[in-house]
Structure 1
Amino acid sequence: MACKIQKRLSLRRRRLHILQVLTNSNNANKNSIAKSTFLHIHKLKLALENVKREYESLIATRREYISLLNNVKDNKEVKIEKIKEGTFKVKVTCEKGGEKFVAILETFEKMCVNVEQARVSCENGFSMEAIIVAEDENLDVRDVNEALLKAIGK
């Protein structure tokens, strides 16, 4: 029986010593250690709340920054290179959404242009590269450019 009591007392002393070390308490009094432990836990809670507030602030700043970047850059871009008479290489990039591909193909049809080869991607916005051949060899780069800008602007 006395052995169990001694084990309990030594276990309590060990726990109090651990709390005393963790909280940097100089007092060996049980109440003093409990108060300093409570104070230490309270300080840790305040520090955690401060870190959470700072994290939320950083996330909000990041969202605002990304929003501003999305508004600033003009995503509509059309590049046209003339390969030979009546043949063009077309590169179109713009933001996702809408039926851009269908509008571009309808524009090619209105201009009487045949698409020989095309590659389309919708990974980071809409992008398309195509080689087109005009039935009418009088077609100009400016005409194609204006027509495509109107098509992706719809």
Structure 2
Amino acid sequence: MGCREQKRMSLRRKLHILRTNINSNSARRSFITKSTLLQIYRLKIMLETIKREYDNLIAARREYQNLLRHVQEHKNVKVEKVAEGTFAMKVTCEKGGDKLVAILEAFEEKGLNVEQARVSCNEGFSMEAIVVAEDQAVDTRNVAETLLRAIGKQIGENN
């Protein structure tokens, strides 16, 4: 007899817990179980929605990171003519490799002498320099092409 009453009390406690969790005032077992199943179904749908949103956020993050990589891989070369045969140049590109060596070798091949230079490798490779051409026929486009070729050659060697 005591075992039945313990089972009944246990069942009542469980039903009471379910009733409070689903905010129901009904005492009928069938209504409580239906409401509980409905609540479980709602939670399952909410979980699927959250998973879908999470997957969308992960995809957006991946796309954002790819865009950042493209921005970081972007090569920026600016060359200005200061005086006849003298150019001020600024190069910015991604970090890695011996870019400085490649640029200086390209300058040497082209007949350009570096008078003053400032190089930084903090967030990427950047170089500001004043170069003087031995040949007066060199223009800004030739210097820019030389820089881009030197940087491109360096990137090709790394890959």
Q: Which amino acid in 2 is paired with 1:25?
A: S
C-alpha displacement at 1:98, in angstroms? Answer: 4.3
Gap runs ≥5 in structure 1: none
Equivalent residue, structure 1, for 2:117:
117
Deviations 1:30-76 (A, max 9, x none): 45424423431342123112211232034224434654676699822
Q: Which runs of 5+ in 2 are unaligned?
A: 154-159
> Which residue of the partner structure matches residue 44 of structure 1?
43
Task: Say which SS state the counterpart of residue 90 (structure 1) adopts.
Answer: strand
Contact persistence 1:87–1:131 (CA under 8 A): no
In 2, the alpha carbon distance for the partners of 1:135 and 1:114 equals: 9
Give distance in 1, aligned partners of 2:128 and 2:134: 18
Q: For the Cα contact (< 8 Å) 2:112–2:134, is it kept in 1?
A: yes
| Structure 2 counterpart of 1:39, one-letter code | L
Matched, 1:142 2:125: no
Question: Residues of 2 paired with 1:35 and 1:143: CA distance?
Answer: 80
- 2:127 counterpart residue number: 129
Superposition pairs of residues 24-35 of structure 1, within 5 angstroms: 24-30=23-29, 32-35=31-34
Aligned to 1:19: 18
Q: How many residues align?
A: 147
CA deviation vs aligned residue, 1:60-112 (integer Å, no higher than 9, x gap)? 24434654676699822210122334432211123445433321122223334
Q: Summarize the alignment of residues 48-127 of structure 1 with structure 2, pairs less than 5 Å apart.
A: 48-64=47-63, 67=66, 75-110=74-109, 111-121=111-121, 123=123, 126-127=124-125
Identity across matched positions, percent? 50
Cα-Cα RMSD: 3.8
